[in-house]
Amino acid sequence: MKIAVLGVTGYTGRLLLRLLAGHPAAPTILPVSASRAGTDIGEADPGFPEIRRNRLAGEGRLASHDEARRAGCDAVFSALPHGAAAARLEPFLDRSVVIDLSADFRLKDPAVYEATYGQPHPSPERLAGAVYGLAEWHRDALADADLIAQPGCYPTCTMLPLLPLLEAGLIEPGGLVVNALSGVSGAGRKAEIDYLFVERAEAMKAYRPGTSHRHVPEMRQELTAAATGADLLFTPHLVPLRRGMAVTTVARLAGGRDASEIPGLYDARYGDTPFLRRSAGPPPDSGDVRGSNRCDITWRQEGDRLMLFSVLDNLYKGAAGNAVQCLNIRFGLGETAGLPLAGEV
């Protein structure tokens, strides 16, 4: 099995490489970088383990996009930014299974894409065929998808607890209030003042609140597919962790329904996956899933309101981990293969 990873110098790209380099299916991996082709992996990621260099094509030299195309890969991951990703991936589509971690193939409606990302979609005809890679929710469609759009980290953490409840009509679809907290790696590896250590340590803020964050349209798309009329106010907050995400959601229970149905609804939809731990206990701690591919979920009823709490590691279950899970599903490799179940202590 041969797998290319485009954009290996960011946090998500590095993690993809490391996860794939330890994957039991032992794929041959092409690390690809347009800007740094020819560079040695040890320079691009000083934490990449020497002993895994034998898993890399080209002896650890970063390949160009052209080389990657010629290599005829079974699968291609892209950790390129939105906008760039769709164009860069075009030559790989129809030849390789593509798993894109950008926003480029998440939205079905090209008009919504243009309104959200400020530019027309370069290949709108591809949108209909892409499968939204929320692994536990779209597992069946993923099994034969050739173009997989990894969800944003916020949507993953927000929607995993919500979707089965919306679909079953347990909660009212409108008026959802979602507050989300994210570690700084969610912003990517960009040299911007706002993400400096000195700016972010000992500081926190809400940003792009209400309906102004770019992840709102993809959540609306998926939530309304589960329940007509679903809508939310969504407020992300930047907090001083490297990695981690915590979401607190308030919904209104549908008339006569209560939280006792929740375990059954989750079981029916999610089965016994090791990646979604859920209980009626106290809110989960993001530290308990740090470095794992898990999303821990709890809930609490307050009168006719339902509160949902979910945590994950934005680079693992919120990005690279979930992307590898999609690969596993697509190629029948065993859903947990190569993915950390326990996190860091």
Give, as ranges, the residues between 122 and 161 that touch its own copies (CB under 8 A).
none
The C-alpha angle 174, 177, 179, rounded to 5 degrees, equals 155
CA gap 248, 264 in Å, rounded: 21
Residues 6+ apart with CB under 8 A from 140: none
Q: Measured from the CB of residue 167, what is the shortest distance to its own copies in angstroms?
A: 23
The DSSP secondary-structure symbol of 320 reads I
The pattern of x and - marking residues 308 through 327 that bind its own copies according to CB under 8 A reads -x-x---x------------
The pattern of x and - marking residues 184 through 223 that bind its own copies according to CB under 8 A reads xx---xxxxx-xxxxxxxxxxxxx-xxx------------
Contact segment (CB under 8 A) with its own copies among 9-17, 59-67, 95-103, 132-140 equals 9-17
By beta-carbon proximity to its own copies, the closer residue of 130 and 178 is 178
Please pick, from the candidates 34, 84, 141, 250, the single residue that binds its own copies as defined by CB under 8 A: 250
**Position 338 contacts its own copies (CB under 8 A):** no
Q: Specify the amino acid at residue 10.
A: G
Residues in binding contact with its own copies, number by CB under 8 A: 79
Please pick, from the candidates 22, 81, 83, 124, the single residue that binds its own copies as defined by CB under 8 A: 22
End-to-end CA distance of the chain: 33
Q: Measured from the CB of residue 68, what is the shortest distance to its own copies in angstroms?
A: 22
Contact segment (CB under 8 A) with its own copies among 81-89, 111-119, 138-146, 278-286 equals 278-286
**Position 284 contacts its own copies (CB under 8 A):** yes
Q: Which of 73, 153, 157, 295 is catalytic?
A: 153
Which parts of 43-82 interact with its own copies (CB under 8 A)?
A: 46-52
CA gap 138, 156 in Å, rounded: 12
CA gap 26, 185 in Å, rounded: 28
How do strand 75-78 and strand 28-32 relate by DSSP bridges? Answer: unpaired
**Torsion of Cα atoms, 319 then 320 then 323 then 329, to 10°:** -130
**Position 33 contacts its own copies (CB under 8 A):** no
Q: Measured from the CB of residue 66, what is the shortest distance to its own copies in angstroms?
A: 26
The CA-atom distances, in angstroms, between 265 and each of 122, 253, 258, 261 are 39, 14, 12, 6
Residue with tokens 């690390």: 31
Contact segment (CB under 8 A) with its own copies among 30-38, 57-65, 130-138, 286-294 equals 286-294
Whether the CB-CB separation of 28 and 73 falls below 8 Å is answered with no
CA gap 216, 13 in Å, rounded: 24
Q: Measured from the CB of residue 254, what is the shortest distance to its own copies in angstroms?
A: 17
CA gap 233, 282 in Å, rounded: 24
By beta-carbon proximity to its own copies, the closer residue of 27 and 105 is 27
Reply yes or no on whether 157 is catalytic.
no
Please pick, from the candidates 181, 226, 227, 323, the single residue that binds its own copies as defined by CB under 8 A: 181
Q: Specify the amino acid at residue 32.
A: V
Catalytic residues: 153
